[in-house]
Structure 1
């Protein structure tokens, strides 16, 4: 499985800051053998390729008066496997888009299952610099927790009706009869940051009120629903007797699979010659 994540970062973040955070992410990894003094010499001022001890960093960039694009690619080789993470950026006036792609390449056939995990760099970038806005919804590490107000009811109605202007899916967590949730919203929101928004219903009473507003199309009773952008449907998850982490993983996997087929909101800048040609 390939993991693709594309999200807006705070527009005040510079390309140099993103580059440096990518370096810090590698140096903080327990699996790297790169020396700190070597990576600290690297800069995003020019293209380069740097390798040592089966690890490779490749960086490419292009710039015009109106925007800056870059590609930071980190590869960790083992005997038969390469773990690849590419962080692409596109900076324009008042916009800073990040695209992260993680994949695994093997050189031999095997029945072993290798899991591609969401790169920690996604959470690090959002945590340090703050997310931008996906339409009318901010990119954050925390869930959107509704209350009993009219504003919250309007937000929930927009989610269910597909009236939000966001491009990422929205995970709606309903309340059961005891006004509890079948999942840990804060943990799920961190797991899905940059990939989906998490909205948490306050109570079963709220659910009944919402039901009248949306023609009974809302999930309820502790059920979790993924509402896809532009009203393109809902995917429903019932926990049953599953452990909560297993339940979370089902939701995460479904979103990963959907995003792997999605064209990023801002095209990943891998072909710099074309970017400059049509700028």
Structure 2
């Protein structure tokens, strides 16, 4: 089952204390977490504090410091449900070494089978992302503030330059951009309520941009040599690539499934497949364990050293499994794309 993953810049002042406060607020706000009840086992020894509730729920934290300064802080939260599944949420805040520059936070969620025959589901975006946006901790991604509100372009030069940058893949660095073109005049395939809802649900996953009118679209076509989307199409642009998907209401929304759902799911899938600039939990683990071994190598007993090596090996095994899963998903995606291109070529040859 494909994991959900996203990352975006955050304000430089965000530190481990504020990061942990976000975790606590998130878990306390859920209906399922039991980590703040009385019968919780807490282990504060070592570099990775751990809390375990009676139902098997776990929260592990880790902070990495380099030369006395915080380099990264992260958590892994595991929640086992009654249907044989494990819901795993991970996040790492990777701090920038340069004063005043933004840091980057990465999130990853998975639905993992604990029992044979467990029915897996696509993991959802964790609500902790929303709290980052609500508390105004997010930073700027290229020419956009990371938020859960749509950007309504205006019929002026600044908006045209921004739309041109979107079409050419130069407007963002971390998140996809959903570009909603006009059908005619100043009407769109979505109404304003749908646009607001889409932007709200994609906060921290993608930027949502709406062009003002048909005249704007025509001018943009000339600026981009036709690389823009138009005529009511929904374009999804990636950093450095420009538009990689074009969705249309008539072709892409059969039956009861509407175009809003397809745009939402496509944005999630594309963001989850994008290369990572931040760290996953396994990277934080690897860096922390290596640093701990090097720092304590003259003071560790042979038993402690073996335990540390085993923890490193376990993390490496987990990294290998994760990389194999990512590779298998990418091969499946490439195979599907090749099949789709073959079908397009075959159909064109028959016309």
Same fold (TM over 0.5): yes
Higher relative contact order structure (alpha carbons within 8 Å, sequence separation ≥ 6): 1
Q: Distance in 2 between matches of 1:96 and 1:164?
A: 19
Out of 274, 278, 283, the residue aligned to residue 266 of structure 1 is 278
Q: Distance in 2 between matches of 1:231 and 1:213?
A: 17
Deviation at 1:200, TM superposition (A): 0.9
Alignment TM-score, normalising by the size of structure 1: 0.88
Q: Secondary structure at the match of 1:5?
A: strand
Unaligned runs of 5+ in 2: 295-351
Q: 1:9 corresponds to which residue?
A: 10
More helix by share: 2
Out of 74, 78, 81, the residue aligned to residue 75 of structure 1 is 78
Deviation at 1:100, TM superposition (A): 0.6
Which region of structure 1 is more displaced relative to structure 2, 16-25 or 171-180? 171-180
Q: 1:24 corresponds to which residue?
A: 25
Moved over 4 A (4+): 36-39, 241-245, 274-278
* Pair 1:56 & 2:61 matched: no
Alignment TM-score, normalising by the size of structure 2: 0.71
Q: Distance in 2 between matches of 1:131 and 1:243?
A: 37
Out of 233, 247, 260, the residue aligned to residue 248 of structure 1 is 260
Unaligned runs of 5+ in 1: none
* Pair 1:127 & 2:131 matched: no
Whether the 8 Å contact between 1:130 and 1:139 is mirrored in structure 2 is no
More strand by share: 1
Q: Distance in 1 between matches of 2:248 and 2:139?
A: 31
Q: Provide closer, same or farther for how the CA distance between residues 160 and 243 of structure 1 changes in structure 2, counting only shifts above 3 A.
A: farther
Q: 1:168 corresponds to which residue?
A: 175
Q: Distance in 1 between matches of 2:29 and 2:60?
A: 18
Q: Provide closer, same or farther for how the CA distance between residues 24 and 151 of structure 1 changes in structure 2, counting only shifts above 3 A.
A: same
RMSD value, Cα: 2.8
Which region of structure 1 is more displaced relative to structure 2, 66-75 or 96-105? 66-75
Count of residue pairs brought into register by the alignment:
276
